Amino acid sequence: MTDIKGKTAVITGAASGIGRATAVALAREGARVAAVDLDRAGLAETASRIAAIGGEVTTYLIDVASRDAVYAFAQEVESAFGGADIVINNAGVAQVASIEELAYEDFEWVMNIDFWGMVYGTKAFLPQLRAKGQGHIVNVSSVFGLFAVPTQAAYNSAKFAVRGFTEALRHEMRGSGIAVSCVHPGGIKTNIMRNARFLQSVQTTVREEAATGFDRLARTTPERAAEVIISGIKKNKGRILIGPDARILDIIQRLMPASYGRILFRGSTTGLGALTSGEAQKTTG
74-92: b or e for each residue (b if 16 or more CB lie within 10 Å)?
A: beebbeebebbbbbbbbbb
**CB–CB of 285/142 below 8 Å?**
yes
Calculate the average pLDDT of the chain.
86
The CB density around residue 194, as the number of other CB atoms within 10 Å, is 13
d(CA 226, CA 271): 26
The structural domains of the chain, ordered by start, are 8-196+220-244 (3.40.50.720)
pTM of the model: 0.85
252-263: b or e for each residue (b if 16 or more CB lie within 10 Å)?
A: beeeeeeebeee
Cα of first residue to Cα of last residue in the chain, in angstroms, is 29
pLDDT at 276: 38
Q: Is residue 96 very low, low, confident or very high in pLDDT (cuts 50, 70, 90)? A: confident
Q: Where are the alpha helices (DSSP H) in the chain?
A: 17-28, 40-52, 67-81, 104-110, 117-132, 153-172, 204-217, 222-234, 244-255, 260-264
The CB density around residue 49, as the number of other CB atoms within 10 Å, is 16
Write out pLDDT tens, residues 246-262. 877 878 888 878 877 77
d(CA 153, CA 253): 17
- SS3 for 6-27, per residue? CCEEEEECCCCHHHHHHHHHHH
Over residues 186-197, the mean pLDDT reads: 54
| Catalytic residue list | 155
pLDDT at 1: 63
Please list, in sequence order, all residues whose beta carbon lies within 8 angstroms of the beta carbon of residue 200, skipping any fewer than 6 positions away. none
pLDDT at 197: 45
Over residues 75-95, the mean pLDDT reads: 97
Q: Amino acid letter at 91?
A: A
Over residues 88-100, the mean pLDDT reads: 93
Q: Is residue 86 very low, low, confident or very high in pLDDT (cuts 50, 70, 90)? A: very high
pLDDT at 217: 57
Alpha carbon of 106 to those of 101, 103, 148, 257, 276: distances in Å?
10, 5, 18, 28, 27
Alpha carbon of 229 to those of 109, 124, 197: distances in Å?
26, 22, 27
| pLDDT beyond 70 at 281 | no
d(CA 237, CA 229): 9
* Least confident span in 78-82, 210-214, 254-258: 210-214
d(CA 5, CA 33): 11
Closest CA to 16 of 24, 26, 27, 7: 24
d(CA 20, CA 45): 9
Write out pLDDT tens, residues 118-171. 999 999 999 999 999 999 999 999 999 998 988 899 999 999 999 999 999 999
**CB–CB of 58/35 below 8 Å?**
yes
pLDDT at 246: 81
Question: For residue 60, what are the β-bridge partners?
Answer: 36
Q: Is residue 48 very low, low, confident or very high in pLDDT (cuts 50, 70, 90)? A: very high
Q: Is residue 89 very low, low, confident or very high in pLDDT (cuts 50, 70, 90)? A: very high
